[in-house]
Amino acid sequence: GNGKNLPPLRVAGNDDDPLKHSGFGFRALISCVRDYLRHRRAYRIHLRDPLDFGTGFFSTRFPAGAIDHIRAFAKKHRATVNDVFLATASQALGKFTAEQRKSEPDPRTKRDRVAIATAVDLKPLSTRSLDHVFGFFVGYFTIVHDHPEKRSLPELIGVTVGETSASKSAARALEFTWGLRIARWIWDWSSRPRFKAQLFQKGLPFLAGISNVNLTGSWADQEKMAPGGRAMVLDYFRISPVGPLVPLVFTLTTIRDRLSLCVTYRTTAFSQKQAERIATELTERLRCLEYFG
């Protein structure tokens, strides 16, 4: 684009931190306790070597028009497309964890919940305007479902809508970000690499995260032709990192009628076969929404 058409921007500084001006700082400890209790029964993936941060990834594309069926399904159930992604991913992951629990040596361990992280824009939650500030203002909140593999998709979507709406309206995402900041203090306090590598996996176990972006109408959706008769943007590939907090991430990207999925996973937590099996389960469930009543 033409730089002359852009509004004046400045790089974010410490004074632009949404947490500073959110009014939720005093609730950080309460948020930490609540999130800990919600995750007590969340499935904790086994890390063969917590200090191994090797990563694998692969991608797949849905048939043209699949996103239209997902949108129609979401509208029918008064949900967002992201709510449908979260509920469907919970079902796929619930099926995986149910199979894993059967093979675990300690049957007394009851971790039958699935916890998924999803992102939310923190800028609207700041009491200061950040419209002309360039920075990273993304927070996260969690969706925790009991036995999602045993529940119908409409039921699971209804519960998901309730959780995501509450998180956005009550700014639970901001509270969770405060909780992560407190956890970071504990992280910095320890000098043991293994303790740091297992801190989140033991205290706040997540099975996966979702990053969902619609780039329709953005710079990545260019129909104009470059010199030589080729499209200005031939393709767009988006990938999300994994780490100590989230061992598996589903990155969903929509451009008009095209939907793609990139799966990133920690190789110490999932084998390639396991990650591909989960992704196949997720994609098949999403494709079947065309025929779902």
Q: Could you tell me if residue 3 is inside a domain?
A: no
**pLDDT at residue 1, rounded to an integer:** 46
Q: State how many domains the chain has.
A: 1
**pLDDT at residue 38, rounded to an integer:** 80
| Residue 89 to residue 96: CA distance in whole angstroms | 11
Is 50 exceeded by the pLDDT of residue 2? no
**3-state class of 256 per DSSP?**
coil
Name the pTM for this structure: 0.84
Q: Could you tell me if residue 2 is inside a domain?
A: no
Q: Could you tell me if residue 68 is inside a domain?
A: yes
- Cα-based distances in Å from 226 to 2, 217, 230, 232, 261: 16, 17, 5, 5, 27
Torsion of CA 181, 32, 159, 152, to 10 degrees: 90
Q: Could you tell me if residue 269 is inside a domain?
A: yes
Q: What is the CATH number of the domain that holds 74?
A: 3.30.559.30
Once rounded to an integer, what is the mean pLDDT over residues 28-49?
81
Mean pLDDT check: name the lowest of 25-34, 120-129, 175-184: 25-34
Q: Could you tell me if residue 106 is inside a domain?
A: yes
Residue 149 corresponds to which tokens in the numbers above?
Answer: 């593999």
Once rounded to an integer, what is the mean pLDDT over residues 197-201?
86
Query: Which tops the pLDDT comparison, 76 or 217?
Result: 76
Q: Could you tell me if residue 50 is inside a domain?
A: yes
Query: Which tops the pLDDT comparison, 207 or 138?
Result: 207
> Which of 270, 242, 274, 268 lies closest to 52 in space, CA to CA?
268
**Which residue is listed with tokens 């079902």?**
91
Once rounded to an integer, what is the mean pLDDT over residues 204-233?
79
Domain of 109 in residue numbering reads as 15-290
Q: Could you tell me if residue 120 is inside a domain?
A: yes
